[in-house]
Amino acid sequence: MPPEVKQKPASGSDEILDRLVGLHPKKIDLSLGRVIELLDKLGRPQEALPPVIHVGGTNGKGSTIAFMRAMLEAAGKTVHVYTSPHLVRFHERIRLGAAGGGHFVSEPDLAAALAECERVNDGAPITLFEMTTAAAFKLFHEHRADYLLLEVGLGGRFDATNVIDPLASVITPISMDHVEFLGDTIEKIAFEKAGIFRRGRPAILSHQSSAVLDVLEREARRVGAPVLVAAQDFLTREEQGRLVFEDGEGLLDLPLPRLAGRHQHQNAATAIATLRRVVPGIEAAAIEQGLLRAEWPARMQRLVKGRLVDHAPFGAELWLDGGHNEDGGKVLGQAMADLEDKSQRPLIVICGTLTTKDTAAFLRAFTGLAQEVIAVPVEGEHAGRPARDVAACAEKAGLPAASCQSVEQALSYLRARAWSAPPRILIAGSLYLAGTVLAANGTVLE
């Protein structure tokens, strides 16, 4: 290998991450060989992790994990968490469990783990996600915890996280997304997601289309994973402002989740069903407290203060969500309709998307609901769709549209108008856009 790679000094995590980007020509190259080889050189930390709950799917993975973390911590457990992508800083991807609640990995710990992975990898081709997943496993091995909640990065079968023997596998709702990597039909995508199932380990399946459910149940039978299926083995419904959950162990009368949106009821149900299956003796009180404490930024998050909020029209409601695919649009459209039923306001959608997403399909859910779409670009190195193209997609979906060069400009543009009632503004279309908004607003993530 080139001597200059060996001589590169350990440094801050950002500098190391920048160096690691150059080790593989593709940002995404689904395979397990490279990460297994690196983990072998690290002493196989993935074989000495706390009990792992592995979470795959398309929409709702992070929220389901947030509910499980809050419930486990309310039960007095320490919980590691691995999620992606991050919103503002890479450190958000790795949460280390601690008594009284966890914390994002510190800069010294992250830099040290990345430097060790870089050293033993010795310049071999490897993707950034594979390298950072190995670093996360190293950290989770070195810091004790009761559980690890592990989110699949992309797909499942060949995702870098799929090198562990989980306590349980969870699949949240699957929809068309990442077709360039996972396949161009919902059945192909479901097959890739089902790759996280393990013999004898329960597979908990959230609400799915019949086509997806057929594939997941078939694959679970093939590997010998017992299944729990939403609407069959566990049920949830709202009654008189309460969340009623029922499974084979009985019925729970619970408060509505803190996370906004009707879709969060099902994410909460999937979390409850999972923990009741694999965590002995978890009490209803911990589940209740977890519903009330769970936090997950940029998922129907209400922004009430900050620099960007100050640019919005006076009295406006400002909501932020990272939803970006067709099913995500439907969920957000329903959430906005529910808010409209409670309090009528003009709805404006500020939207920025990536070129890989079906923007018109995402925005179609707001037809007849939103007054206008304000298109903005997604900043950074991501394959962002130009604002004018986002506006064209909105018009294709039957929505009036305008373009601005930033969310701040869009809010100022709206602030200059005269409103009969303060508007409700939804910023959505990309988690990368959501991260930019949180950073620009000065919102602190913990």
The per-residue pLDDT for 379 is 84
Question: What pLDDT, on a 0 to 100 scale, did the predictor assign at position 28?
Answer: 74
Q: Which run of H or E residues covers position 302?
A: strand 301-303
Rounded-to-5 percentages of helix, strand, coil across the chain: 45, 15, 40
Which of 110-114, 228-232, 379-383 bottoms out in mean pLDDT, i.e. has the lowest?
379-383
**Token pair for 358:** 């079906």
3-293 is classed in which CATH architecture? 3-Layer(aba) Sandwich (3.40)
Q: Which neighbouring-strand residues pair with 237?
A: 244
Domain covering 301-441, topology? Protein-Tyrosine Phosphatase; Chain A (3.90.190)
Supply 16's token pair. Answer: 């190391």
- What CA–CA distance (Å, rounded) separates 171 from 60? 9
How far is C-alpha 100 from the chain's CA centre? 24
Mean pLDDT, the chain, whole residue set: 94
The amino acid present at 16, given as its one-letter code, is I
Query: How far is residue 335 CA from its own chain's centroid?
Result: 18
Structure token digits, residue 341: 């039923």
Q: How many Å apart are CA 53 and CA 61, to the nearest integer?
A: 12
Q: What is the pLDDT of residue 29?
A: 80
Residues in the chain: 446
Give, rounded to a whole angstrom, the gap between the first and last alpha carbons of the chain.
40
For residue 337, pLDDT beyond 70: yes
Range(s) of the chain covered by CATH 3.40.1190.10: 3-293
Residues carrying CATH 3.90.190.20, the chain? 301-441
What pLDDT score does 7 carry?
Answer: 39
pLDDT attached to residue 27: 75
pLDDT of residue 22: 82
Read off the pLDDT of each residue in 203-209 and give the average, rounded to a whole number: 97
Angle, helices 61-74 vs 284-293, to 10°: value is 130
- Smallest Cα–Cα separation from 273: which of 231, 309, 314, 310? 231
Rounded Cα distance between 231 and 273, Å, is 11
Q: Residue 90 above 60 pLDDT? A: yes
Strands 147-151 vs 103-104: parallel, antiparallel or unpaired? unpaired
Q: What would the DSSP string read from start to end of 118-172? A: HHHHTT----HHHHHHHHHHHHHHHS--SEEEEE-SSSSTT-TTTTS--SEEEE-
- pLDDT confidence of residue 11: 65
pLDDT in tens, 273-328: 999 999 989 999 999 999 999 999 999 999 999 999 999 999 999 999 999 899 99
Q: Are 89 and 297 in contact (CB under 8 A)?
A: no
- Reference 203, options 237, 230, 242, 183; nearest CA is 230
Q: At what angle do helices 107-121 and 13-20 cross, to 10 degrees?
A: 30
pLDDT at 383: 79
Q: What pLDDT, in 10s, does the model give residues 3-58?
A: 333 435 556 999 999 898 888 877 778 889 999 999 999 999 999 999 999 999 99
Answer whether 333's CB lies under 8 Å from 323's CB.
Answer: no
pLDDT tens per residue across span 404-436 = 999 999 999 999 999 999 999 999 999 999 999
Task: Determine how β-strand 103-104 pairs with β-strand 94-96.
Answer: antiparallel
Rounded Cα gap, residues 186 and 188, in angstroms: 6
User: Residue 179's pLDDT band (boundaries 50, 70, 90)?
Assistant: confident
Lowest mean pLDDT among 47-61, 137-151, 378-392: 378-392
